[in-house]
Structure 1
Amino acid sequence: MSEQDHSGPRYTLWQLVAYMLGLGTWGFGGPVALVGFMYRDLVEHRRWISEADYKEGMALAQLMPGPLAAQLAIYLGYVHFRTWGATLVGLAFVIPSFLMVVAIGAAYVAFGGIAWMQAVFYGVGAAVIGIIAMSAYKLTTKNVGRDKLLWVIFVASAAVTVITKSEVIWLFLGAGVLVWLLRAPPKLGGRLNSLALAAPIAGAAAVSAVDWPRLVEIGAFFAYAGSFVFGSGLAIVPFLYGGVVQDHHWLNDRQFVDAVAVAMITPGPVVITTAFIGYLVAGFWGAVVAAMGTFVPCYLLTILPAPYFKKHGKKPGIVAFVDGVTAAAIGAITGAVIVIGQRSITDWVTAALALATVVALWRFKKLPEPVTVAVAAVAGLVLYPLAHPT
């Protein structure tokens, strides 16, 4: 605990759970916005969490694979209330968006063939490409900057994603190890510490490798995704595309883009799109299994290394590993813009919508993404019948 914790927390566990429940219900804008809300509300305004604890949570969330905002929320629950707090806070943060996505999935399955829903996703799908493109740009300028080594990793990861149309996990881990070895060559103790850090990741991957019937197959795939996808929530997009569309053939290209669009128009973590995918594949229980598969590794990879990370997280070797993995993750997001864009940008109308989204987000820095998506949905309703006359 930090210095401010000697007198105990200034809030109850249930107050924090209520806050996260509200953030999961109304928190639009993606992972960067969500972690910003947590800092503003919990550190600056309410002073429930110290600056040091928040920074430790952010560092751990960036280092471990999984959704950034969800991991930070789990860590903040862990700060004063340990495992019980992390568990309740994580559930409160994820459940609202899960319920929304399941409801949208039910409507999608029931009315997906109706023209108005096709029209909505015609516009929203194009806007999603613009949103991801702008997110990739912001992440690149913030995390890669002018670092030549990170640029090499970024370009290589983007190229591999475009060529293979999927995310290569070992490229991520290899990038982290490369930067670690070049910038903070390990001593024996550092090597052992890094191996200890990697143990939870390897263990989660081994558990997820079992090949069982459909629900377990879904759970195994999403557990693997949750165990190895680094970066923001958008980093999971290229990985999911490779597995869901190309390998397992659970969804077609159009359905996959719609799934990403659903994640964009709902509050909470972007990776809740996995629940929508699970619903399309196997109904309600498919959604439950897919969501659990995604978030349980995220939960475990936050609370298990938390005590260790509070002690060793600032070591140069760990920092260097994080830099390499982050650069590779951002490269994969950038590559995903091209891969998914090839399937979402089908005519001049969708191209114009995607470009207009980029221009709007560039011109109006504080424009909420849900507003952009809502406008694109209306545009789709108007323009789809004109572009696809019956």
Structure 2
Amino acid sequence: MAATAGIHTAPAPGEAAPGAPVPVTLAEAVPVWARIAALSFGGPAGQIAVMHRVLVEERRWISENRFLHALNFCTLLPGPEAQQLATYVGWLMHGTRGGLVAGGLFVLPGVVAIMALSWVYALYGNVGLVAGLFFGLKAAVLAIVLQAVIRIGKRALKGPVMVGLAAAAFVGIFFLGVPFPLIVLTAGVIGYLGGRAGLPQFKAGGHGAGGKVVEGPFLLDDHELPRERAAAGHTLRMLLVWGAIWLVPVAAILLAFGSDDVFAQVAVFFSKMAMVTFGGAYAVLSYVAQQAVEHYGWLRPGEMLDGLGMAETTPGPLIMVTQFVGFLAAYRAPGALPPLMAGTLGGLLTTWVTFAPCFLWIFVGAPYVERLRGNRALAGALSAITAAVVGVILNLAVWFALHTVFAETRPFTAGPIRFDVPVPSSLNPWALALAAAAVLAVFRFKVGMVPTLAACAAAGVALHLAGLV
């Protein structure tokens, strides 16, 4: 079938050119996507870095330019860009089926992990030894995020103009609180004008000052066409199918239980969130926490941070914290259902309405983005947006570092400048030591991601058993 056949770059049917990657079937791709999903720690920065390493450097399934082009598009969409990037590449390789496999597997480990931890949290009120596990994992994740910022920055910041855009984005979002959509829009306009004018600083592809681009050949090189092309019939079909997959369950719940039912509230609220989560999870989680605690009463103050700790230290998108919110909402208002069953259904419903739109955006929009891939002005806009996103990811890395090493921060304000500074007395020496060890392992001794995660997790558990954390 067309959806499962591999992409061929060979000069003759069934015969690969010397040194060319071997065509891949969907069945052969599944374990690779599963591996990427299992290693998807560290938020979007770490997840994108893992995908780049596996898809571009190791497997050579997709070229550098195609990968960054897909990433540029996904950063413009509401929802988790890393999951959408996996869906995009899966779609490029094997059509809709491939996108479903890649995007679905990317979410699955997080669904299972968050659900299991939600059960433990609901039954025991804390995660016991898991708290020590989280403590250690956070230190490793910090090192992985820093590594990701450097890797992505080297490949996206091609010259002083792109470095300047990244720096401006970091200053804008970290020190001035500029909204992410405004940063993306400004960078896009600058890049569009620069690309349209033919300025070399905004040209996509090629080697830049940031580092060496991975050489081919690739299964998906810069000229390979996607299996599914932009067409009115295809677009309408995807809109109808994925619109129904997303919204029919929501409508059915509203009709069956009424708008005041907790399942209806969860379905409607998180469907709205799926359409406005621009800029990653951090951009919207404060609003989700406020609504969940103050408006709906689903969570108690502080519980959102517990859920965020789960999501930060388990595989999958950070937005998976919403599953924890949906779980507790239904667990505490189960109606006629057993609380744990209600919580499980509430968490799964939240995940459904959060991620179904992600497939809709990709399957509808990707064919058109691919058709415009050679457009010079669009390429300039997307390259500039990617540079700005590097600055935003750096902002997330700094935020994560502050909250990993320090227990408390306080706001600093001076005119338009406002940012959080750590409280020195809240420094956790064990967190600092573990983070330093993880950074040393990753950058100095080139220790892999899995051994670093495992070692830090074991150290965290040991510190917890010793009563030190």
Question: Is the CA contact (8 Å cut-off) linking 2:30 and 2:101 kept in structure 1?
Answer: yes
Matches for 1:194-343 after TM superposition, within 5 Å: 213-225=265-277, 228-229=278-279, 236-245=280-289, 249=293, 255-256=304-305, 259=308, 262-266=311-315, 272-276=320-324, 278-279=326-327, 282=330, 283-343=343-403
- Give the share of equivalent positions with the same residue, in percent: 22
Deviation at 1:241, TM superposition (A): 4.3
Q: CA separation in 1, counterparts of 2:35 and 2:378? A: 34
CA RMSD of aligned residues (A): 4.0
Q: CA separation in 2, counterparts of 1:17 and 1:356? A: 34
Counterpart amino acid of 2:372? H
- The residue that corresponds to 1:61 in the other structure is 71
> Is 1:152 equivalent to 2:127 in the alignment?
no
- The residue that corresponds to 2:221 in the other structure is none
Counterpart amino acid of 2:186? G
Listed one character per residue, the Cα deviations across residues 8-44 of structure 1 (whole Å, up to 9, x for unaligned) are 9966555545654565357777332234324467x65
Counterpart amino acid of 1:373? L
Deviation at 1:328, TM superposition (A): 1.9
Question: Is the CA contact (8 Å cut-off) linking 2:111 and 2:320 kept in structure 1?
Answer: yes
Q: CA separation in 1, counterparts of 2:380 and 2:301? A: 38
> Is 1:30 equivalent to 2:47 in the alignment?
yes
Listed one character per residue, the Cα deviations across residues 119-165 of structure 1 (whole Å, up to 9, x for unaligned) are 333333344334323322332233225423x3333223223332466
- The residue that corresponds to 1:194 in the other structure is none
What SS does the aligned partner of 1:291 have?
helix
- The residue that corresponds to 1:354 in the other structure is 435
Of the three residues 78, 83, 104, the one matched with 1:70 is 83
Which sits farther off after the overlay, 120-129 or 358-367?
120-129
Q: TM-score normalized by structure 2?
A: 0.61
Return closer, same or farther for 1:341/1:269 CA change in 2, 3 Å cut-off. closer
- The residue that corresponds to 1:375 in the other structure is 455
Which sits farther off after the overlay, 359-368 or 166-175?
166-175
Counterpart amino acid of 1:259? L
Question: Is the CA contact (8 Å cut-off) linking 1:62 and 1:68 kept in structure 2?
Answer: no
Q: CA separation in 2, counterparts of 1:75 and 1:214? A: 28
Counterpart amino acid of 2:451? V
Q: CA separation in 1, counterparts of 2:55 and 2:81? A: 12
Which sits farther off after the overlay, 151-160 or 310-319?
151-160
Listed one character per residue, the Cα deviations across residues 146-193 of structure 1 (whole Å, up to 9, x for unaligned) are 423x3333223223332466852221222122222134249xxxxxxx
Return closer, same or farther for 1:93/1:387 CA change in 2, 3 Å cut-off. closer
Q: CA separation in 2, counterparts of 1:26 and 1:224? A: 27
Q: CA separation in 1, counterparts of 2:12 and 2:355? A: 32
Q: CA separation in 1, counterparts of 2:283 and 2:120? A: 26
Listed one character per residue, the Cα deviations across residues 24-79 of structure 1 (whole Å, up to 9, x for unaligned) are 357777332234324467x65xxxx6x57x95465223322354553344334434
Deviation at 1:313, TM superposition (A): 0.8
Instruction: Report how many aligned residue pairs link the two structures.
Output: 350
- The residue that corresponds to 2:17 in the other structure is none
Question: Is the CA contact (8 Å cut-off) linking 2:138 and 2:312 kept in structure 1?
Answer: no
Deviation at 1:239, TM superposition (A): 1.7
What SS does the aligned partner of 1:300 have?
helix
Q: CA separation in 1, counterparts of 2:400 and 2:31? A: 37
Counterpart amino acid of 2:402? Q
- The residue that corresponds to 2:414 in the other structure is none
Deviation at 1:354, TM superposition (A): 2.3
Return closer, same or farther for 1:378/1:78 CA change in 2, 3 Å cut-off. closer
Of the three residues 147, 162, 182, the one matched with 2:174 is 162
Q: Which runs of 5+ in 2 are unaligned?
A: 1-6, 15-21, 199-237, 248-258, 294-298, 331-342, 408-426
Listed one character per residue, the Cα deviations across residues 244-293 of structure 1 (whole Å, up to 9, x for unaligned) are 44675568668537635545443x55654554554455543443344334
Matches for 1:177-196 after TM superposition, within 5 Å: 177-185=189-197
Of the three residues 126, 147, 152, the one matched with 1:134 is 147
Q: CA separation in 2, counterparts of 1:112 and 1:97? A: 20
Deviation at 1:334, TM superposition (A): 1.5
Q: CA separation in 2, counterparts of 1:11 and 1:128? A: 31
Q: CA separation in 2, counterparts of 1:35 and 1:141? A: 12
- The residue that corresponds to 1:107 in the other structure is 120
Question: Is the CA contact (8 Å cut-off) linking 2:72 and 2:383 kept in structure 1?
Answer: no
Q: CA separation in 2, counterparts of 1:321 and 1:55? A: 14
Listed one character per residue, the Cα deviations across residues 206-265 of structure 1 (whole Å, up to 9, x for unaligned) are x99xx982332133224422xx33xxxxxx253244434467556866853763554544
What SS does the aligned partner of 2:374 have?
coil
Listed one character per residue, the Cα deviations across residues 320-373 of structure 1 (whole Å, up to 9, x for unaligned) are 1112211222212222233343333232422222232222221133421x4323
- The residue that corresponds to 2:132 in the other structure is 119
Structure having the larger proportion of residues in helix: 1
Deviation at 1:7, TM superposition (A): 5.8
Counterpart amino acid of 1:378? A
Return closer, same or farther for 1:276/1:114 CA change in 2, 3 Å cut-off. closer
Return closer, same or farther for 1:152/1:263 CA change in 2, 3 Å cut-off. same
Question: Is the CA contact (8 Å cut-off) linking 2:329 and 2:346 kept in structure 1?
Answer: yes
Return closer, same or farther for 1:145/1:39 CA change in 2, 3 Å cut-off. closer
Return closer, same or farther for 1:69/1:155 CA change in 2, 3 Å cut-off. closer
